Amino acid sequence: MKINENLAISESGFLFNPSTGESFTVNPIGAEIIEKLKVGKSEEEILNELHDTYEIDKKSLQKDLLDFNQILKQYQLLEQDEETSN
Amino acid sequence: MKKPVINIGVTGLNAIDSPGPGVAVIRGLREAGSFDIRIIGFAYESLEPGIYMHDLVDRTYQIPYPSTGTDALLSRLEYIHSREKLDVIIPNFDAELYSFMKLESKLLQMGIHMFLPTMEQFEERHKVNLSEFGKKYGIDVPLGKAIFDSSEIFDLQKDFDFPLMVKGKWYDAYIAYNMEQARTYFNKISAKWGLPVVLQRYVHGTEYNVTGLGDGKGNTIAAVPMRKQFITDKGKAWAGISIDDKKLLSITQKFISATKWKGAFELEMMKSNDNKYYLMEINPRIPAWVYLAVGVGQNIPEALTNLAMGNEVAPFESYEVGKLFIRYSYDMIVDRSEFEKISMNGEL
Amino acid sequence: MEKKRYERPHLVKLDTGMPSKAGLRGDSPATTRIDGVQVKELIAKFGSPLFVMSEQTIRSTYQKAFKAFSTRYPKVQFAWSYKTNYLPAVCNVFHQEGSWAEVVSGFEYDKALANGIDPGKIIFNGPGKSAEELKKAAENGSLIHIDHLDELYLLTDLAGEMKRKPLVAIRVNMDTGIYPMWDRFGFNYENGQAWDALNKIMLAGKLELVGLHTHIGTFIMSATPYAVAASKLADLALGLQQKFNHNIRYIDMGGGFASKNTLKGSYLPGADTNPSFDDYAEAITTALVNSGFKPESLPLLILETGRALIDEAGYIITSVIANKRLSTGRRATVIDAGVNLLFTSFWYEHPVTPAQGFSQYREENTLYGPLCMNIDCVRDSINLPLLNKGDSLVIHYTGAYNLTQWMQFITLRPNVVMIDREGNTHLIRESESVNVISGLEKTPDYLKHVK
């Protein structure tokens, strides 16, 4: 799974997808996840890094990350990998 | 002498195909001879075109929808006032008038003036009460009745011929040509807008509109009649012409003097085929075509602002007859960052 | 290193119609305290969900209502509507403030007696009074409001065996211009039933006619119908004066005033549009003062206001059990208070606020209760901050009817506390235990074994 690399996130949390013209608003931790996805971090890495930073148990965090991923997919901000989509 | 600068908050910046009056109001205010202005736009949605018209609107703030309640609206207005020192607010939407009327005295304490109808005027001119209104003030209105049950349509057959109008409490109107249609429309409208539903006798004829301004003491400050020349598929005028019709003006004056109407309004009139005039609807605010009135010599937004500020305003004596307004659309080019700012911060 | 405060990752598409966080500024600030007491503390001590009644709000609301009427009319008496909330602690706050009791069943009648109220200050309404109940009330000197002819005849019969003449009023229903018209209770005004019943009482001479009563409906969002109702009752009273030279002692206008709650489907919130006590008082008292009563014989004005006096004093504290996403992508939150405790959520959009601080991010949410029942939905659509499991919410305006109409469906009912004017918390109804329910159940011997 790959994040759309052209996504532009401003400091205020305004997210613009140039390939679809859609705009979104994202909270700081959401923006942080997207930035991590952009530099190619795996879900496992993101989970561990966030767990080290934030006051939250791992199970809840994992559940929220899964949910966030689904949202990214729903809005077509995440692209399926070529191999897996076949 | 230097003219005073008045800070005016204006809503209804949605200058779209079914436009809000805000942009037209602001154009009138920009042409005012008696004062200079700063315009503070109030927007509900981030794509209202007026937000991006920087030659007309100095700064825009998003405000909460009326359904959020007056407490939320008041606290937002307090915030805006702390930054902009508002002198006057001109609300332009039907749906928001109630909330602004509720806040009138609180806003006045803050030094913010409005010039709105009284709650009583606002209620009694309501579609549901129009028949009573006509009786009370001796103004011809089409026979109408507010009903709560579709079975009442049957009982009313002796008073109403088909076709008849079936109208929702807030919006929507249909012409029914028989009982089955009337019941269908009743069900359709009541599902969407609730009860009651208004049945109104259908008047064959030509529609005329009057916009005007009453000073709250029974005097007519402004009145300009117009006939729509062309109508969009949404039923909005896209061109219209100012006309000279003494009867329309005298009905308007009667309306103002009888009700002691305070504030701006639009009357929707129907002239029947036998030359009788019926008052179909009273909109308790400035209409979107108000710039025609400005253009023919009656600057209603300016006069309204002066009345709000407590200044003496002399009635307009005349207007130019036979002037047209022709509406057009216009594409602005706007940078994404502006959309971002209004969307994220609620201010631009 | 100390870890940062966590908030769920959140992303939402910008629609032009969507109010931004700024547009909502000022909307539902957190309710971290109720009458000065921390919500967190209340949960720790009494559990979640929890009903909370504010004594301060009850008293100040009552005083506001009383003032609205008593400044406009010389003789005013409120009677607390037991069916709205009959917890003894709540009733007695009203009784201390000077309210009589208004009851609609033998059960409520006994509750009022147990609360220590003078039986002469109990109004007995309702269509279903038994012979024993009528007898007891009549002998106690309570005020019996007759609902139908059968009751009138029964009471007239019973009166023969009593030492004391029963004190009665009749309930009158009428067209006040509102829809629906409540015509199932009492005697109709327009078709002459009411006048007929009054004549029967006066001519039989067995009952002492002391008042006239009406109750035009519920959650009446305009004051005008009350003016119509008051004039019609005044007409009946003046008719009695003329024909029988009989002065009634009181006119009872019933209840039905709207609280600040918002009815489902309303565009504007109820707190903005519903009439105030002053509006209702103005309509009713103007109609009475302008009717044909001589100033010295103006009847006592009784009001049985329930909902509008108590709704705002009640809160439900509830906690988030789970967060989910529905098949459409919509966010749903499961909380531990459902329609079993919040019966009124079928009609109202109760305001719901978070009980802890939050960031500016919000999402559209559906609030479901914990019941395994599809209709258990507290709010279809509400904008809330990003809630985590275990977070708490406060549901507002829940004081009316929920503590009498709540359901013991699949679970037990929770604690109810009252916060007094000094900020002390009192348990006023203990949470139910299994024994309270199962103790009443009997199993025939042959069904005691399942093998």
For residue B122, give the nearest of B18, B275, B261, B247 by alpha carbon.
B261
Binary contact (B344, A16; C-beta < 8 A): no
- Indicate which CATH number applies to the domain containing B186: 3.30.1490.20
pLDDT at residue B69, as a whole number: 86
Find the mean pLDDT for residues B37-61. Answer: 94
Are B178 and B78 members of one domain? Answer: no
Banded pLDDT at B231 (limits 50, 70, 90): confident
Are B95 and B36 members of one domain? Answer: yes
Q: Convert the pLDDT of each residue in B270-325 to its tens digit.
A: 999 888 999 999 999 999 999 999 999 999 999 999 999 999 999 999 999 999 99
pLDDT at residue C16, as a whole number: 57
As a residue count, chain B comes to 348
Q: Interface partners of C (3+ CB pairs, < 8 Å)?
A: A, B
**Cα–Cα dist B148/B128, whole Å:** 11
Peptide linkage before C49 cis (omega within 30 of 0): yes
Higher pLDDT, C185 or C13: C185
pLDDT at residue B344, as a whole number: 83
Residue B295 lies in a domain: no
List of chain B residues whose C-beta atoms are within 8 Å of the C-beta of residue A13: 344
Instruction: Give chain A's domains with CATH numbers.
Output: 2-81 (1.10.10)
pLDDT at residue B285, as a whole number: 96
Residue B98 lies in a domain: yes
Spatial contact of B50 and B41, defined as CB atoms under 8 Å apart: yes
Burial of A52 (0-12, 13-18, 19+ CB in 10 A): exposed
Q: Is A16 on the interface with B (CB under 8 A)?
A: yes
Q: Is the four-CA dihedral C442, C445, C448, C450 of positive or negative sign? A: negative
Residue B191 lies in a domain: yes
pLDDT at C27 over 60: no
**Cα–Cα dist B279/B237, whole Å:** 18
Are B105 and B25 members of one domain? Answer: yes
pLDDT at residue C18, as a whole number: 46
Banded pLDDT at A41 (limits 50, 70, 90): very high
pLDDT at residue B162, as a whole number: 86
Q: How far is CA B189 from the centre of its chain?
A: 22
C417: β partners: C52, C427
Residue B313 lies in a domain: no
* Angle at which helices B94-102 and B70-84 cross, to 10°: 80
Q: Is A14 on the interface with B (CB under 8 A)?
A: yes
**Cα–Cα dist C446/C133, whole Å:** 39
Find the mean pLDDT for residues B142-147. Answer: 88
pLDDT at residue C169, as a whole number: 97
For residue C259, give the nearest of C380, C375, C126, C349 by alpha carbon.
C349
pLDDT at C170 over 50: yes
Binary contact (C12, A25; C-beta < 8 A): yes
Spatial contact of C22 and A86, defined as CB atoms under 8 Å apart: no
Q: Which helix (H) or strand (E) holds C446?
A: none
pLDDT at residue C19, as a whole number: 44
pLDDT at residue C24, as a whole number: 47
Q: What is the mean pLDDT of chain B?
A: 91
Q: Is A10 on the interface with B (CB under 8 A)?
A: yes
Q: Is C269 on the interface with B (CB under 8 A)?
A: yes
List of chain A residues whose C-beta atoms are within 8 Å of the C-beta of residue B339: 23
**Cα–Cα dist B196/B186, whole Å:** 9
Q: How far is A42 from chain C (nearest CA, A)?
A: 17
**Cα–Cα dist B56/A6, whole Å:** 35
Instruction: Give chain C's domains with CATH numbers.
Output: 33-53+312-432 (2.40.37.10), 55-311 (3.20.20.10)
Q: Convert the pLDDT of each residue in C396-451 to its tens digit.
A: 999 999 999 999 999 999 999 999 999 999 999 999 999 999 999 999 999 999 87
Residue B228 lies in a domain: no
Residue pairs spanning A and C at CB distance below 8 A: 70
Binary contact (B340, A13; C-beta < 8 A): no
Find the mean pLDDT for residues B62-69. Answer: 86
DSSP per-residue codes, B36-83:
EEEEEEEESSTT-GGGG-TTT-SEEEE---GGG-HHHHHHHHHHHHHH
Token couple for B128 = 């549901």
Percent of chain A with pLDDT over 90: 48
Are B93 and B33 members of one domain? Answer: yes
Token couple for C445 = 């011997």
Non-local CB neighbours of B240 within 8 Å, separated by 6+ positions: B209, B226, B227, B228, B229, B289, B292, B324, B325
Higher pLDDT, C228 or C182: C228
Q: Is C372 on the interface with A (CB under 8 A)?
A: no
For residue B231, give the nearest of B199, B265, B189, B268 by alpha carbon.
B268
Q: Convert the pLDDT of each residue in B12-31 to its tens digit.
A: 999 888 889 999 999 999 99
Banded pLDDT at C22 (limits 50, 70, 90): very low
Q: Convert the pLDDT of each residue in C270-300 to its tens digit.
A: 888 899 999 999 999 999 999 989 988 899 9
Are B93 and B153 members of one domain? Answer: no
Number of folded domains that form chain B: 2
Banded pLDDT at A8 (limits 50, 70, 90): confident
Find the mean pLDDT for residues C224-248. Answer: 95
Q: Is A23 on the interface with B (CB under 8 A)?
A: yes
Q: How far is A13 from chain C (nearest CA, A)?
A: 9
The torsion angles phi and psi of B56, rounded to 5 degrees, stand at: -105, -40
pLDDT at residue C25, as a whole number: 43
- Indicate which CATH number applies to the domain containing B85: 3.40.50.20
Q: Is C325 on the interface with A (CB under 8 A)?
A: yes
Range of the domain at B88: 5-114+331-345
Are B75 and B168 members of one domain? Answer: no
Residue B317 lies in a domain: no
Q: What is the mean pLDDT of chain C?
A: 93
List of chain C residues whose C-beta atoms are within 8 Å of the C-beta of residue B95: 267
Find the mean pLDDT for residues B107-114. Answer: 96
E-assigned strands of chain B?
5-10, 36-43, 59-62, 88-90, 144-147, 164-167, 173-176, 197-201, 205-215, 220-231, 237-242, 262-272, 277-283, 324-326
Residue B240 lies in a domain: no
